[in-house]
Amino acid sequence: MAPWQGLTNNDTVDFDVTWGILEGALREIHAKNASKLSFEELYRNAYKLVLKKKGEELYNRVSGLEQELLRENVRSRVVQMVTSPLILGASGEQVGGQAHQRRADGERFLGVLKNAYKDHDICMKMITDVLMYMERTYCQDQRHPSIYAMAMALFRTQVLRSPATDQSDINVMAILESAILDMIAMERKNEIIDRPLIRACICMLEELYETFQEEESSKLYLTSFEPKFLESSRIFYHREGQDLVANADAGTFCRHARKRLREEDERCQQTLSTLTDQKIKSVVDKELIGAHIRDVINMEGTGVKHMLDNDRLEDLSNVFDLNSRVDPKKAALKDAVQKRIVSLGSEINNMSSGAVVPPPNNASEQAKKEEGEKDKNVNQQTASAIKWVDDVLTLKTKYDRIWEEAFKKDSNMEKALEYSFQEFINANQRSSEHLSLYLDEYLKKGAKGKTDLEVDANLDKGILLLQYIQDKDHFENYYKKHLSKRLLQRKSASMDIERQMISKMKMKVGNTFTQRLESMFKDMALSEDLTKQYKTHVAELGDPDTTRIDLEASILTTTMWPVDSMVRRNEDGSTKTACIYPPVVENARKRFEHFYLKKHSGRTLSWQPQLGSADIRATFTKPDGKTKRHELNVSTYAMVILLLFNDLPADQCLSYEEIQARTSIPENELCRNLQSLAVVPKTRILKKDPMSKEIKPGDKFYFNESFTSPYMKVKVGVVSNAGSKAENSDERRATKRKADEERGTTIEAAIVRIMKQRKHLPHQQLIAEVIQQLANRFQPDVNMIKQRIESLMEREYLERGPDPSKPSYTYLA
Amino acid sequence: MAPPTTEYLKDSFMKRLFEQGLFTDFTIRCQRHKWNVHKAIVCGRSGYFRRLCTSDFKVSRSSERQRDVQFDSELQEAAEATIEICDDNPDIVGRMLIYLYNPTYYASSADWDLYQECTNAGVFGEAKRRQALVIPNDESCTAKHLPDPLVVHAKLHGMSKKYDIPDLQHASCVRFVECVVQAIELDPTFTEYTCYAEDLLDAIDVVYGSKQDSDQILREATVYLARVFMKTIDEHMNNDGMKDLEKEFRDIVRSEKDFAWDMASIDFEKARFTCKYCHQDFIVTKKTSDPPECECAGRGLCGRCVPVSERSCSYCGLPGGCRLIEWENRPRK
């Protein structure tokens, strides 16, 4: 509503008289004598003036009065405090010697300015109260800035923006800013400054605006002070970063940078404004951290490599924090950590393969000695395999801890760690074998000096490594081999743990991977049942078995068990395993075969005596006529050999050739079994003539009646066939060949699966899909895939596409 | 008139606080009347008292006390802050204070009927008034008694503007308009109740007088009623009382220039609005039935009601749309 012009008469108010009262009161307020004045009276007078349409005049008079007071009283007080060091400081000249003086002057100057502003602020608030009616009607209707805003703007123009001295063009604002910046620079040099004083001045700048509209962005603090502060900080940190990189080590740099960040944070909280918080930090990030972090991480001797090697978790966490400030991907730190892990990993790889390198063989040495050394080597290899896994696990534990404690479980870093472990683990060709050996070590019975908890923990860790191995099919082969040995020779510490392992692997790697392992367990269980059925069957026959042979048969499904790898090749490369059983045993065998084939017609049983074992009871007659009985646990072959002596008079002997002829046990198996029976002191059930370590053709064997043992049960191990050994190079080659064959069929199967579904696919896409499908099991070789495709085309599963420039294939049903 | 009363407070806690003057910490004086009130309540609703009580100005105490001696000696002991309100009618000040203790403007729509009955039945007699402790038994108060609600609302309106009580400013404004509407409905010719005409003359004096500042709405409503009065002047020829009133009316038109100007210039076919949001004046002709619009209309804001479509008015705070707009839109006779 527009004010109504024209004055209505009745009780006229004399403007000058009323204004006189008000002016006096306002001056009193500025003189801090407000408590003498009556609010009611002043309000009433102002109200009357506005009511009489004198609002505009009143407004102008008040602003005139304020302007005069500011110019005459406040400004002169402030300007008095401006000294020459302050002016020099503001004009950008660096006067080193006067630092102390400048600081004292600055504090005095800030103090006066702060008080002047505070007084002005308080007075204006009171005056606003008095003139409230004018503000609510006149100012609102006319859209004038409020008296308070007007007075604050006057403070800006009349005091802050006024020249500091008569002759110079530097204004009070510039001096204020340079004084504050000066003090902040001092604080950065660890001097104590008057923070509340600066905070008060900053508050003043935050409350003042460039315009009457008082938009957030037009705060004097933001328009004037902040840019200058940021610029001076930029210069400071730029210089400091260079100094630090040149003179300090990496740990110190990071600690210092963090300290600076903390300081800036505190400064924004306590001295300046929280508005600047992000901005100043980004300056520090950019100038101090971003510009140097890569240099610091790679710093010779003290960088991340040094920290990792010496477990400097605190330093590492500093580096991590700083790096993540400037780069969310933390590329620099990631690179450094990855480099270090891969180099440590290759060291571990080299150490283990270094141990494997056989000592230089002298060609003139005897073949048998070579053999013995080979065995020793194999044992060493097992140990080194376990050491390799242990080393890798130690490394992993160490880096897991670093990741957890220093890298705050960052997912980026986790990926980097995983990637680098994968890289060096797969760089070792034998990692699958090593891992399987390691697991075997812990799953085997009689893991010495290891508590259950330890075993559990170690197995879990082993499983962890499994994730990193790319050629999982290789691992499966090895594991199967070791598992079958454990199962058949009953060496597993506990079936429960075995099953747990399988289910753990299932979780980590997937269903298809453990299918065959599971079926091995199933076979074992089925066999147990079958043996029981067989026993009742025999009992029902009513034919009392005089020989009292308890036959326990394990029926293994050929495709699921690694039968091939369980058979040691003879020297001629054949895999003949059969032997001539003694009649009693042969009877039992035949009876079982009959029983089994009746149950499952159409199956073939092939006996694997090298995998079996037998409990036999032997009677030893001492020279004094006393007899002693022992229960001997021997391999099937050893059983066959020993039974030969049953029919032999006590003083007679059998020669090596005789034994071979009567049993037809393959030569290498025979040698080993005779060795274990006649050479190993603790289980010397046969005497050998001549007495030597090696078994040679022409050796004679006697039954050793004087055999003694403190135990009732004696276990006769088969030399160098017990336990899992690392493969020697021949075996490894064979395994590799086999694995490649298996891969070939797996790849073919995958190709056919894909093509069956898609019918038609371009070459590149087919290869990509095959790789993707098999990634879980192994990294297929592209050449191998190509070979398999060729082979499938030969067999007319696939057909080449018509366009040779774009190779593609079509599935032929 | 509807005399100031605490009746409507029922037996509320607020009523007891006010009437019994328990725990008061502030005294308001006006001429020879005084009210003991609570700062918490008074400052809560009035910007003026809030500023008064929080500023560093002198709180009148000693000088007032000496004057108290003859008037009320008990008060001397109380170390309460005191304010002397000059220039204002104690009757209106009393009503304002009642309003401050009251959740709503006492002149709710039912009050009009109640007022009708009360004036006849004399429910609010002198005795009742004294009992209410609001207006002391004093000659200066009863001498110039206010028989007309228009004047009371207008004065309360001015008072609320002076003492910065926005609630009261709106409420009194709405009530004023309502009274105008009601007066026209009850007696469009001013022949039955001459008191309406007297009321109108007094209202013109107050609304256009120099003692207070009134909102445009009050002026428009006054002018509207005055026009109705002018049109019916012929019908009063036989009525002596009315003749005097008519003469008085002419005098007022001659002396109050603002009023005369408004009488001549306000075109009720065209309503002028000032947008609360953008502060721009805009004119709406009554011929278009659309709700008034300004540049802010896009944001759903009109001059007085924000937004129009909503059922309660954010200007007058009344549910069911703004009565001011309703009034302005009603068919003219």
Question: CA-to-CA distance for B64 and B68, rounded, in angstroms?
Answer: 6
Closest alpha carbon within chain B to A133: B162
Encode burial over A70-87: b for 16+ CB neighbours within 10 A, e otherwise.
beeebbeebbebbbebbb
- Residues near A789 by beta carbon (within 8 Å), at least 6 away in sequence: A751, A766, A798, A809
Using 50, 70 and 90 to split pLDDT, how confident is the model at A726?
A: low
Interface check for B239 against chain A (CB to CB < 8 A): the answer is no
Q: Which residues of A touch B47 (CB under 8 A)?
A: 132
pLDDT surpassing 70 at residue A11: no
Range in A442-451, A490-499, A747-756, B32-41 with the lowest mean pLDDT? A442-451
Using 50, 70 and 90 to split pLDDT, how confident is the model at B281?
A: low
Find the mean pLDDT for residues B170-178.
77
Find the mean pLDDT for residues A589-597.
81
Which amino acid, A624? D
Closest alpha carbon within chain A to B215: A1
Cross-chain Cβ contact A34/B210 below 8 Å: no
Interface check for A133 against chain B (CB to CB < 8 A): the answer is yes
**Long-range interactions of B278-281: CB distance < 8 A, separation 24+:** B279/A143
- Residues near A164 by beta carbon (within 8 Å), at least 6 away in sequence: A79, A82, A86, A87, A90, A170, A171, A172, A174, A175
pLDDT surpassing 70 at residue A375: no
**In this structure, what token pair is assigned to residue A237?**
């940190």
pLDDT at B285: 52
pLDDT surpassing 70 at residue A164: yes
pLDDT surpassing 70 at residue B64: no
Closest alpha carbon within chain A to B279: A141
Using 50, 70 and 90 to split pLDDT, how confident is the model at A447?
A: low
pLDDT at B307: 39
Using 50, 70 and 90 to split pLDDT, how confident is the model at B74?
A: very low
DSSP secondary structure letters along A111-180: HHHHHHHHHHHHHHHHHHHHTHHHIIIIIHHHTPPPHHHHHHHHHIIIIITSBSSSS---BHHHHHHHHH
Q: Which of B47, B83, B213 sits opposite A132 (nearest CB)?
A: B47
Between B146 and B331, whose confidence is greater? B331
Distance of CA B136 to the CA centre of its chain: 21
Question: CA-to-CA distance for A374 and A220, rounded, in angstroms?
Answer: 86
Between B66 and A90, whose confidence is greater? A90
Find the mean pLDDT for residues B54-63.
60
pLDDT at B117: 41
Using 50, 70 and 90 to split pLDDT, how confident is the model at B80?
A: low
pLDDT surpassing 80 at residue A264: yes
Interface check for A14 against chain B (CB to CB < 8 A): the answer is no
pLDDT at B280: 53
pLDDT surpassing 50 at residue B134: no
Between A139 and B144, whose confidence is greater? A139
Distance of CA B145 to the CA centre of its chain: 15
CB A604 within 8 Å of CB A689: no
Question: CA-to-CA distance for A50 and A45, rounded, in angstroms?
Answer: 9
- Of the candidates B237, B245, B154, B243, the residue with the CA atom closest to the CA atom of residue B195: B245
Find the mean pLDDT for residues A453-467.
77
Encode burial over A461-475: b for 16+ CB neighbours within 10 A, e otherwise.
bbbbbbebbbbbbbb
Between B141 and A243, whose confidence is greater? A243
B227 vs chain A: nearest CA distance in angstroms? 21
Domain ranges of chain B: 1-60+79-89, 149-264, 267-313
pLDDT at B130: 29
Question: CA-to-CA distance for A21 and A307, rounded, in angstroms?
Answer: 78
Q: Which of A11, A40, A137 sits opposite B213 (nearest CB)?
A: A137
Between A695 and A119, whose confidence is greater? A119
Find the mean pLDDT for residues B217-227.
82
- Of the candidates A640, A616, A620, the residue with the CA atom closest to the CA atom of residue A628: A620
Q: Which residues of B touch A35 (CB under 8 A)?
A: 56-58
**In this structure, what token pair is assigned to residue A95?**
């006067």
pLDDT surpassing 70 at residue B305: no
Find the mean pLDDT for residues A348-373.
52
Residue A750 CB neighbour total at 10 angstroms: 21
CB A215 within 8 Å of CB A208: no
pLDDT surpassing 70 at residue A463: yes
What is the per-residue pLDDT across A377-433, written as a single tens digit (0 to 9) for each? 556 777 777 788 888 888 888 888 888 888 888 888 888 888 888 888 887 777 777
Cross-chain Cβ contact B210/A137 below 8 Å: no
Using 50, 70 and 90 to split pLDDT, how confident is the model at A603?
A: confident
Cross-chain Cβ contact B51/A50 below 8 Å: no
Using 50, 70 and 90 to split pLDDT, how confident is the model at B31?
A: confident
Q: Which of A1, A11, A129 sits opposite B55 (nearest CB)?
A: A129
pLDDT at B63: 42
Which amino acid, A335? D
Find the mean pLDDT for residues A318-327.
82
pLDDT at A605: 75
CB B145 within 8 Å of CB B1: yes
CB B49 within 8 Å of CB B43: yes
Cross-chain Cβ contact A1/B213 below 8 Å: no
Cross-chain Cβ contact A143/B85 below 8 Å: no
- Mean model confidence pLDDT for chain B: 63
- What are the strands, taking DSSP E only, across A599-674? 613-621, 627-635, 653-655
Q: A–B: how many Cβ contacts below 8 A? A: 72
Using 50, 70 and 90 to split pLDDT, how confident is the model at B283?
A: low
Range in A537-546, B64-73, B148-157 with the lowest mean pLDDT? B64-73
CB A120 within 8 Å of CB A74: yes
Using 50, 70 and 90 to split pLDDT, how confident is the model at A363?
A: very low
What is the per-residue pLDDT across A678-725, written as a single tens digit (0 to 9) for each? 777 777 777 777 777 777 777 888 877 777 777 777 777 666 543 445
pLDDT at A8: 39
Is A524 exposed, middle or buried (CB count within 10 Å of its CB: 0-12, 13-18, 19+)? middle
CB A526 within 8 Å of CB A492: no
**In this structure, what token pair is assigned to residue B69?**
């001696």
Interface check for A21 against chain B (CB to CB < 8 A): the answer is no
pLDDT surpassing 80 at residue A75: yes
- H/E element, A715: strand A713-715
Mutation target to probe the A interface, by most A beta carbons within 10 A, among B27, B43, B56 is B56
Sign of CA dihedral B27, B30, B33, B37: negative
pLDDT surpassing 80 at residue B11: no
Find the mean pLDDT for residues A521-542.
79
What is the per-residue pLDDT across A658-678, written as a single tens digit (0 to 9) for each? 888 888 787 777 777 777 777
A143 vs chain B: nearest CA distance in angstroms? 9
pLDDT at A325: 82
- Mean model confidence pLDDT for chain A: 78
| Three-state secondary structure call for residue A700 | strand
Interface check for B62 against chain A (CB to CB < 8 A): the answer is no
CB B142 within 8 Å of CB B126: yes
% of chain B exceeding 70 in pLDDT: 50
Q: Which of A38, A51, A132 sits opposite B58 (nearest CB)?
A: A38
% of chain B exceeding 90 in pLDDT: 0
Q: Which of B51, B85, B213 sits opposite A132 (nearest CB)?
A: B51
- Of the candidates B132, B17, B25, B33, the residue with the CA atom closest to the CA atom of residue B84: B33
Cross-chain Cβ contact A42/B57 below 8 Å: yes
Find the mean pLDDT for residues B3-26.
63
Q: Which of B52, B87, B257 sits opposite A39 (nearest CB)?
A: B52
Which CATH architecture best describes the domain B1-60+79-89? 2-Layer Sandwich (3.30)
Cross-chain Cβ contact A39/B216 below 8 Å: no
Using 50, 70 and 90 to split pLDDT, how confident is the model at A344?
A: confident
CB B61 within 8 Å of CB B81: yes
Sign of CA dihedral B37, B41, B43, B45: negative
Cross-chain Cβ contact B84/A40 below 8 Å: yes
* Residue A360: cis peptide before it, omega within 30 degrees of 0: no
Find the mean pLDDT for residues A15-41.
85
Interface check for B34 against chain A (CB to CB < 8 A): the answer is no
| Residue length of chain B | 333
pLDDT surpassing 70 at residue A95: no
pLDDT surpassing 50 at residue B310: no
pLDDT at A718: 67
Which amino acid, A305? K
pTM: 0.63
